[in-house]
């Protein structure tokens, strides 16, 4: 099982994917820390390690999905790429140009090319402005069109995203959730950007409406050759839209792979556990599969664990995982497009439930599942601790 | 006899814009120990119907019956309801942070709840609270019992809510979107806790969710709601593999399939209906591909298909073969319609 993966020592793992004209965006060792306290003179500073050394590259016309749990840094990563946050260190190369240190003014023309769509279609639209003027904003800011020309362009956009152009003068509140998200899409689309970062674009929508928006995004991608970064916590949605997917855990990328390959042969145990936790809308499959339920919660990003950040919760954790941070590189003979940051990657068909960590108790989180029913206790013992039914309600 | 029997429940609210008819004639029952899943989109009335049963919809106009252990909850006095809520029917909600009081420790809140219904000393109640927290998988429960809600993570708060809801060993647990705000790995933990509690105590569970994946995981029976009405009721397998109602079909088709083929999704066209002035007849008709003239009249929730207990409110033929013929005809028309614009 152990491979000589280390032999192909690769200096820039994620960038190893054929770099050249077809790469639209490349992030190199991107780091973003947020200071939280200790800003006083003699206090030690503490930081939230939101994004901690992320390298990836995204090809033109493709969709790169980012998955991970709350607090894993996926939204911060997106905001860094859009230059809404200044990065702490690392480089962002967009369309062959290093945009990491560009000033507000030099960044401005590039802002047209990188747009964002947000999760909350209500929060991202000003309730007191009419839809026509919201979508027309980009034209005004970049002084591209005014007057009737602007109105015409806005109405074209509205039509393109499936809104009635006659609703130009309505307020956001007069639209439904799905329609509001279409307004957000129209606004992002105003300049036919090269890259659209979608941060949980369909999470707030009902299933039937969610599908409408996903299809719209797919159509626009074909028509305008857009590149998407698609962030979502719903793995089946990400799988549906993405060409390749990056998995994040506590500020680091743990695995990147083509969508199908990630689901078929996850290498990182975290990916394996994450995939097994997704509820499957198919009773047949959900009865068969074996869920790996992770113990405990994600550790604090202020003081992330040493070595591999997943080691306290990992069923395969070994002493090496505590000591060394595994590099993101192809494992078990995978191609360069499928790197994983794991010392003990999973072989295909391997069952995580068969493993027990070989590290000391202190290095692990407390085993939660074990306490669900104490060792050797019968359900009846527990039930005895509670009142018999019907006796509880004495007034 | 069923544990809870809901009959023709109707709930409407007066709002400045007019009367919102949130629930329009819902009937169902749940047996002891069973898990009933209620799925529906926002505004389908799935939450309002259970909240009304628990007497939590103030100022609403309510009619119908909801008989729990022989007593009609809709006519029960506030005192009677207080005895039932918590003691006989436990509830957990989507957002555990706003259901827990930020000023009091988690343990204190569970103790208060126990002592409200049960005559026991504070020490005894605290012991039981620790035991409950251990049961739902809170590490070091004897210490964490003195923590405040903000010191718990989202998943732990939801576990604490479950512990509180189970404190008096209720016969029925109502879980309203219990995992919607949680990450998938935490969701899996919480669903397992609910299932485990159900195994241990034989509690009946009503699980309200919009996530068909969760339904496929845990529900025995499923109720599909739309526009304040029940569209279909079936056991889990029948619902996923042999559903009858076009709305159920639409819901299943609009999900990105876990099988993972990247074909286009087939969303349900249009928007959910407004409940301000719902049109007579089937609420789904305006979005339905099979719509016929008859749909102006609301069909009854009748038995369909081969499985007993499979009910559907739709005019489509009840037997599979005839329905298939209609489906094929409609699919043909749809295909001709969509032949123009290219589908990627």
Q: What is the CATH number of the domain that holds A65?
A: 3.40.50.300
| B264 contacts A285? CB cut-off 8 A | no
Confidence at residue B324, expressed as pLDDT on a 0 to 100 scale? 78
Query: Is A389 at the interface with chain B, CB within 8 A?
Result: yes
Residue A175 lies in a domain: no
Mean pLDDT of A41-59: 85
Phi/psi at B34 (5° precision):
-90, 155
Confidence at residue B337, expressed as pLDDT on a 0 to 100 scale? 60
Query: Is B63 at the interface with chain A, CB within 8 A?
Result: no
Of B188, B199, B264, which is closest to A277 when you measure between CB atoms? Answer: B188
Residue A313 lies in a domain: yes
Comparing A356 with A222, the larger pLDDT belongs to: A222
Of A211, A240, A387, which is closest to B169 when you measure between CB atoms? Answer: A387
**Minimal CA separation from B210 to chain A, in Å:** 8
Of A211, A286, A374, which is closest to B266 when you measure between CB atoms? Answer: A211
Which of 249-268 (B) contact A at CB < 8 A?
Answer: 250-252, 254-258, 260, 262, 264-268
pLDDT for A342-392, tens place per residue?
999 998 878 887 888 887 766 665 444 433 444 444 444 555 556 666 444
Q: What is the DSSP letter of B83?
A: H
Question: Sorting pLDDT into bands at 50, 70 and 90, what band is A6?
Answer: very low
Mean pLDDT of A216-242: 91
| A385 contacts B183? CB cut-off 8 A | no
Answer yes or no: is pLDDT of A395 > 70: no
Mean pLDDT of B136-142: 84
Comparing A191 with A345, the larger pLDDT belongs to: A345
The answer to whether residues A79 and A162 touch, using CB atoms and an 8 Å cutoff, is no
| B254 contacts A210? CB cut-off 8 A | yes
Comparing A140 with A364, the larger pLDDT belongs to: A140
| B139 contacts A366? CB cut-off 8 A | yes
Instruction: Tell me which of A29-43, A110-124, B118-132 is least confident.
Output: A29-43
Which of 192-251 (B) contact A at CB < 8 A?
Answer: 192-193, 196, 199-201, 210-217, 236-237, 240-241, 250-251
**Minimal CA separation from B135 to chain A, in Å:** 5
Of A259, A368, A393, which is closest to B87 when you measure between CB atoms? Answer: A393
Domain, as residue range, for A120: 20-130+187-385
Q: Which residues of A touch B267 (CB under 8 A)?
A: 208-212, 215
How many domains, in total, are found in chain A?
1
Confidence at residue A38, expressed as pLDDT on a 0 to 100 scale? 60
Query: Is A293 at the interface with chain B, CB within 8 A?
Result: yes
Task: Give which of A80, A13, A27, A20 is closest to A257, Cα–Cα.
Answer: A13
Residue A144 lies in a domain: no
Comparing B138 with A89, the larger pLDDT belongs to: A89
| A283 contacts B216? CB cut-off 8 A | yes
Task: Give which of B2, B51, B49 is closest to B221, Cα–Cα.
Answer: B2
Chain pair A-B, CB pairs under 8 angstroms? 195
Mean pLDDT of A124-142: 89
Query: Is A164 at the interface with chain B, CB within 8 A?
Result: no
Confidence at residue A40, expressed as pLDDT on a 0 to 100 scale? 65
Confidence at residue A355, expressed as pLDDT on a 0 to 100 scale? 82
Instruction: Tell me which of A126-130, A204-208, B33-37, B79-83 is least confident.
Output: A204-208
Of A237, A291, A371, which is closest to B139 when you measure between CB atoms? Answer: A371
| B212 contacts A382? CB cut-off 8 A | no
Of B83, B134, B256, which is closest to A393 when you measure between CB atoms? Answer: B83
Residue A139 lies in a domain: no
Answer yes or no: is pLDDT of B330 > 90: no
Cα separation of A289 and A281, whole Å? 12
Q: Which residues of A touch B45 (CB under 8 A)?
A: none
Query: Is B153 at the interface with chain A, CB within 8 A?
Result: yes
CB atoms near residue B217 (< 10 Å): 26
Confidence at residue B220, expressed as pLDDT on a 0 to 100 scale? 93
> Average pLDDT of chain B?
87
Of A263, A277, A383, which is closest to B187 when you measure between CB atoms? Answer: A277
Confidence at residue A310, expressed as pLDDT on a 0 to 100 scale? 92
Question: Sorting pLDDT into bands at 50, 70 and 90, what band is A282?
Answer: confident
Residue A266 lies in a domain: yes
Question: Sorting pLDDT into bands at 50, 70 and 90, what band is A278?
Answer: confident
Confidence at residue B208, expressed as pLDDT on a 0 to 100 scale? 94
What is the percent of chain A with per-residue pLDDT over 70, rounded to a whole number? 84
Residue B93 structure tokens: 């909600």
ipTM for the whole complex: 0.81
| B250 contacts A279? CB cut-off 8 A | no
Task: Give which of B142, B23, B42 is closest to B94, Cα–Cα.
Answer: B42
Residue A159 lies in a domain: no
Confidence at residue B340, expressed as pLDDT on a 0 to 100 scale? 45
Question: Sorting pLDDT into bands at 50, 70 and 90, what band is A268?
Answer: very high
Measured between CA atoms, the residue of chain B closest to residue A383 is B201
Answer yes or no: is pLDDT of B39 > 80: yes
| Mutation to test the B interface, candidates A175, A211, A361, most B Cβ within 10 Å | A211
Question: Would you call A363 helix, strand, or coil by DSSP?
Answer: helix
Environment class of residue B13 by beta-carbon count within 10 Å: exposed (0-12), middle (13-18) or buried (19+)? middle
| A277 contacts B185? CB cut-off 8 A | yes
In angstroms, the Cα distances linking B291 to A225, B232, B248, B285, B286 are: 37, 17, 15, 6, 8
Mean pLDDT of A240-246: 93
| A291 contacts B83? CB cut-off 8 A | no
Residue A154 lies in a domain: no
Q: Which of A349-353, B161-165, B186-190 has the highest mean pLDDT?
A: B161-165
Answer yes or no: is pLDDT of A12 > 60: no
Confidence at residue A17, expressed as pLDDT on a 0 to 100 scale? 40
Q: Which residues of B touch A381 (CB under 8 A)?
A: none
Cα within 13 Å of Cα(B130), Cβ side: 11
Of B83, B117, B189, which is closest to A293 when you measure between CB atoms? Answer: B189
Mean pLDDT of B325-343: 63
Answer yes or no: is pLDDT of A8 > 60: no
In angstroms, the Cα distances linking A47 to A37, A88, A262, B150, B332 are: 8, 11, 32, 21, 60
> Which residues have CB under 8 Å from B245's CB, separation 6+?
B224, B231, B232, B284, B312, B313, B314
């Amino acid at each position: 099982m152990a491979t000589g993966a280390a032999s192909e020592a690769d200096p820039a793992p994620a960038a190893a994917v054929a770099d050249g004209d077809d790469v639209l965006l490349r992030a190199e060792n991107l780091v973003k820390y947020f200071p939280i306290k200790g800003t006083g003179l003699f206090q030690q500073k503490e930081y939230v390690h939101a994004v901690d050394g992320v390298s990836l590259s995204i090809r033109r016309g493709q969709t790169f999905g980012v998955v991970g749990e709350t607090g894993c840094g996926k939204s911060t990563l997106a905001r860094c790429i859009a230059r809404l946050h200044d990065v702490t260190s690392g480089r962002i190369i967009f369309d062959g140009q290093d945009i990491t240190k560009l000033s507000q003014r030099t960044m401005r023309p590039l802002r047209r090319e990188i747009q964002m769509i947000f999760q909350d279609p209500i929060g991202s639209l000003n309730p007191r402005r009419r839809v026509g003027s919201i979508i027309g904003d980009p034209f005004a800011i970049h002084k591209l069109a005014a007057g009737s020309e602007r109105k015409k362009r806005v109405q074209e956009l509205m039509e393109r995203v499936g809104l009635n152009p006659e609703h130009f003068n309505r307020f956001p509140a007069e639209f439904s959730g799905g329609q509001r998200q279409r307004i957000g899409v129209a606004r992002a689309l105003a300049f036919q950007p090269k890259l659209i970062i979608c941060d949980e674009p369909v999470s707030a929508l009902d299933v039937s409406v969610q599908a409408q928006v996903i299809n719209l995004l797919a159509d626009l991608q074909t028509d305008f050759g857009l590149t998407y970064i698609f962030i979502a916590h719903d793995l089946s949605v990400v799988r549906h839209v993405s060409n390749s997917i990056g998995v994040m855990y506590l500020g680091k990328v743990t695995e990147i792979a083509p969508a199908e390959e990630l689901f078929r042969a996850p290498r990182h145990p975290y990916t394996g556990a994450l995939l097994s936790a997704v509820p499957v809308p198919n009773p047949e499959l959900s009865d068969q599969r074996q869920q790996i339920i992770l113990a405990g919660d994600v550790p604090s990003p202020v003081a992330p664990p040493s070595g591999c950040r997943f080691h306290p919760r990992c069923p395969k954790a070994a002493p090496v995982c505590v000591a060394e941070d595994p590099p993101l590189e192809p494992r078990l003979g995978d191609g360069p497009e499928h790197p994983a940051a794991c010392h003990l990657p999973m072989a295909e068909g391997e069952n995580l439930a068969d493993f027990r960590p070989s590290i000391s108790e202190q290095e692990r989180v407390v085993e939660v599942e074990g306490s669900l029913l104490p060792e050797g206790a019968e359900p009846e013992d527990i039930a005895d601790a509670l009142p018999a039914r019907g006796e509880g309600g004495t007034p | 006899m069923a544990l809870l029997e809901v009959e023709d429940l109707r709930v409407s609210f007066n709002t400045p814009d007019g009367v919102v008819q949130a629930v329009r004639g819902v009937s169902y029952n749940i047996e002891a120990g069973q898990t009933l899943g209620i799925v529906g989109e926002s505004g389908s009335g799935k939450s309002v119907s259970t909240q009304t049963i628990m007497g939590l919809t103030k100022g609403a106009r309510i009619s119908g019956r909801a008989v729990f252990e022989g007593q009609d909850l809709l006519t029960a006095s506030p005192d009677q309801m207080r005895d039932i809520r918590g003691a006989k029917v436990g509830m957990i909600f989507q957002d555990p942070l706003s259901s827990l009081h930020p000023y009091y420790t988690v343990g204190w809140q569970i103790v208060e709840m126990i002592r409200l219904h049960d005559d026991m000393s504070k020490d005894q109640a605290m012991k039981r609270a620790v035991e409950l927290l251990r049961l739902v998988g809170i590490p070091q429960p004897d210490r964490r019992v003195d923590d405040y809600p903000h010191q718990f993570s989202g998943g732990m708060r939801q576990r604490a809510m479950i512990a509180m809801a189970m404190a008096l060993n209720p016969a029925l647990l109502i879980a309203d979107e219990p995992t919607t705000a949680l990450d998938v790995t935490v969701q899996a933990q919480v669903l397992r806790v609910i299932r485990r509690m159900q195994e241990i105590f034989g509690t009946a569970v009503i699980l309200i969710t919009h996530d068909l994946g969760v339904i496929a995981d845990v529900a025995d029976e499923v109720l599909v709601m739309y526009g304040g009405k029940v569209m279909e009721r079936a056991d889990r397998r029948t619902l996923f593999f042999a559903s009858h109602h076009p709305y159920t079909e639409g819901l299943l088709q609009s999900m990105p399939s876990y099988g993972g083929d990247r074909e286009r999704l087939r969303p349900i066209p249009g928007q959910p209906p407004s409940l301000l002035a719902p049109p007579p007849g089937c609420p789904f008709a305006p979005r339905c591909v099979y719509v016929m003239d008859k749909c102006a009249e609301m069909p009854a929730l009748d038995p369909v298909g081969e499985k007993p207990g499979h009910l559907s409110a739709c005019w489509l033929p009840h037997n599979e073969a005839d329905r298939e013929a209609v489906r094929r005809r409609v699919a043909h028309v749809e295909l001709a319609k969509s032949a123009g614009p290219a589908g990627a």
